[in-house]
């Protein structure tokens, strides 16, 4: 099964993708994570993407399509992908259709996670991750069981993203509404969209996604 998780910044795409990856043995492909890795490694791609990401703008289609094509090639013969943060423009969605076609596969489901803009700003401002294993946390909604210690790997080092300031989050939301939201209509036209209420707690959202995937 190939699955697209669509939703605004902070909707919970990454949180749910990690759970689905474990539960359904699918491979998570997050263009945001790939781009942040390129920035951290100081590659040419990272240099081009970094300035745009800091302003909350989208990276050009050809760069992210190339990244996704490369990762899909590295994962042949698996059970499928969870696309997290890709596609984000109609051009990217059309390119994804072509990539899937070439593999004899298709996008099976598009889960749209809906959350109010004001709730998103609060969510993102409270977000942090383990600097060692990348496990995600939140100041209010998902704290480590022992304060200051990662539940998964025991590390005491945590990090916050530079694009998680209120000003940049507002720019990311603007980009979402202008460039990514039209994808809902694109995939509705293909009969693939299932909407879930992303305002519910993390477990409830997970259950809703499970039901949406298991329903015909
Ligand atoms: P990217 O990394 O994809 O960021 P994003 O889409 O803005 O999404 P986030 O990662 O911020 O949020 P999320 O939906 O994954 O939420 P999360 O699960 O973390 O992209 C970053 C940048 O890279 C872009 O701005 C762009 O510049 C560039 N880029 C990336 N892909 C691109 C592409 N395809 N084309 C062009 N440019 C691209 O949850 C957020 C917080 O809320 C967490 O703390 C979590 O614990 C908490 N939480 C999650 N669910 C719930 C819940 N139900 N209730 C309460 N709290 C919750």
pLDDT in tens, 110-122: 999 999 998 999 8
Q: Which residues are catalytic?
A: 13, 88, 127, 161, 172
pLDDT digits (tens, 9 = 90+) for 24-76: 999 999 999 999 999 999 999 999 999 999 999 999 999 999 999 999 999 88
Q: Which residues lie across from 136 on neighbouring strands?
A: 129
Q: Which atom of ligand 1 is nearest to the CA of 172?
A: 25
Cβ-contact 100, 118 below 8 angstroms: no
Ligand 1 atom nearest the C-alpha of 86 is 34
What integer pLDDT is reported at residue 123 of this predicted model? 87
Q: How far apart are CA 151 and CA 115, in angstroms?
A: 27
By C-alpha distance, which of 12, 7, 1 is closest to 87?
7
pLDDT at 157: 97
Nearest CA to ligand 1 atom 6: 9
Average pLDDT over residues 130-148: 93
Strand order in the sheet with 81-84: 27-30, 81-84, 3-6, 109-114, 193-197
Which among 65, 85, 180 is the best mutation to test ligand 1's pocket, defined by most ligand atoms within 8 Å of the CB? Answer: 85
pTM over 0.85: yes
Residue scoring higher pLDDT (134 or 146):
146
CA of 176 to the centre of ligand 1 (A): 11
* Gyration radius of the chain over CA positions: 17
Residue 176's DSSP bridge partners are none
Write down how long the chain is: 216
Q: Report the distance separating Cα 181 and Cα 110, nearest Å.
A: 12
* Distance of alpha carbon 24 from alpha carbon 19, whole angstroms: 8
What is the number of the ligand 1 atom nearest to the C-alpha of 138? 44
Report which protein residue has its CA nearest ligand 1's atom 1. Answer: 32
Following DSSP, what letter does each residue of 161-183 receive, concatenated? -TT-SHHHHHHHHHHIIIIITHH
Residues with CB under 6 A from ligand 1: 7, 9-15, 31-32, 35, 52-53, 56-59, 64, 85-86, 88, 92, 123-124, 127, 136, 138, 141-142, 172, 198, 200-202, 205
């Amino acid at each position: 099964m190939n699955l697209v998780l669509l939703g605004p910044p902070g909707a919970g795409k990454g949180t749910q993708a990690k759970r689905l990856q474990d539960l359904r043995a699918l491979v998570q492909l997050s263009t945001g994570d790939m781009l942040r890795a390129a920035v951290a490694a100081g590659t040419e791609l990272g240099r081009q993407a970094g300035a745009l990401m800091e302003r909350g703008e989208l990276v050009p289609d050809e760069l992210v399509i190339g990244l996704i094509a490369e990762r899909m090639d590295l994962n042949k013969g698996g059970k499928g992908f969870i696309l997290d943060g890709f596609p984000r423009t109609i051009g990217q969605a059309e390119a994804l259709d072509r990539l899937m076609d070439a593999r004899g596969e298709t996008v099976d489901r598009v889960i749209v996670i809906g959350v109010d803009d004001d709730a998103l700003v609060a969510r993102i401002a409270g977000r942090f991750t383990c600097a060692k294993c990348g496990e995600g946390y939140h100041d209010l909604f998902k704290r480590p069981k022992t304060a200051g210690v990662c539940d998964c790997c025991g590390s005491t080092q945590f990090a916050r993203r530079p694009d998680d300031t209120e000003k940049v989050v507002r720019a990311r939301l603007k980009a979402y509404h202008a460039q990514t939201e039209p994808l809902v209509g694109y995939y509705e036209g293909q009969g693939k969209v299932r909407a879930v209420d992303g305002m519910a707690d993390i477990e409830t959202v997970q259950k809703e996604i499970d039901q949406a995937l298991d329903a015909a």
